[in-house]
A and B are shown apart, each in its own frame.
Chain A
């Protein structure tokens, strides 16, 4: 770690660092979204397409979280993550499409699987 960079964080303080390097780079996408749809209504074909893109991205987030090999989830084996997702989804279908039943079953499977098979 470079001393100069560390000093920078200390100079500007954690709150200003949060605003400049966390809030602004994150919020810019929301702002662009707001400005791009100015004057468009919900039936327009562009919005229908954008909705499909957003939905596909959401599925991409899901795939990333289940398959990723880095970050805090890495300590849970991928096989346990896939198995828990399948079990959770089965509980969701059996439980008359109850999201609560599915999420709780999947989370229980993750806890047990991690406890017995985790690294």
Chain B
């Protein structure tokens, strides 16, 4: 029998974990990002077809890379640029995953969670999954979060794979301007979801400062724009947050 005094949440039984995984898939289909990813990857699939990659290569690249900017680089440069330069451009486009993974994984950690349980959530982390995960995970008990996040990520990734397949098949019929317009789904979804999700001063301030600092950093042409934007604007927002907390403690 379990110790009734134990405060550590136990692993949910397998059938419950599976049910939570399915809940995650449902949340994915109800998310605006599911449809955004379909639209976005229709554009990507058309691009892959145009360059001459196979249908299965396109699907595999979505499952393995799961990052639209990196995939655009790979698809459009792999057959023409030096392979080392391709790898460099891909890695420079993916720096955002470090802070995203580092911010979301601790919300799933509890005693008894092994590092290898976090490998799938790590791989599934992308902008869409991260934004929805940061919103939904705090609403549920900690022992359900890994299964839910895996379902959410799998569901959203499925939307991307489906979109990529549709785009690949339709490629010849898609006008280029429509493909470009489909890629514009992503910034729209980032803007609206972030505006809805930022409940704290820290979130809202970090986002607003990032919008201002981003173009300023880009204009300096020093490279690694996103990394500097994140470090400068994120640290400024964090500093304001700490000052406010300190003042609140002084008052009380």
Contact = CB atoms under 8 A, between A and B. Distances in A.
Contacts, number: 305
Given A71-B72, A92-B192, A103 B90 contact: no
A103 B235 CA distance: 30
A37 B108 CA distance: 12
A60 B211 CA distance: 6
Contact of A72 (B43, B79, B83, B196): B43
Interface stretch (B6-14, B98-106, B164-172): B98-106
Contacts of B214: 59-60, 62-64
Contacts of B88: 25
B150 interface: no
A26 interface: yes
A94 interface: no
Contacts of A17: 78, 83
Contacts of A42: 106-107, 109
A85 B187 contact: yes
Interface residues of A, number: 77
Interface residues of B, number: 101
Given A19-B64, A64-B226, A67-B218, A58 B106 contact: no
Contact of B103 (A25, A50, A92): A50
Contacts of A28: 91, 94
A59 to B, nearest CB: 3
B136 to A, nearest CB: 14
Interface string A91-117: 010000101101100110011001100
Contacts of B119: 34
Given A61-B226, A97-B196, A26 B70 contact: yes
B160 interface: no
A92 B90 contact: no
Contacts of B93: 26
Given A22-B64, A107-B188, A52 B91 contact: no
A62 B103 CA distance: 19
Interface of A: 1-2, 5-6, 8-9, 14-15, 17-34, 36-38, 40-42, 44, 47-67, 71-73, 75-76, 81, 84-85, 88-89, 92, 97, 99-100, 102-103, 106-107, 110-111, 114-115, 118
20 contacts: A6-B79, A14-B54, A15-B57, A28-B91, A29-B101, A37-B101, A38-B115, A48-B238, A48-B241, A55-B210, A57-B100, A60-B233, A89-B195, A99-B32, A103-B32, A103-B188, A106-B188, A107-B185, A107-B188, A114-B180
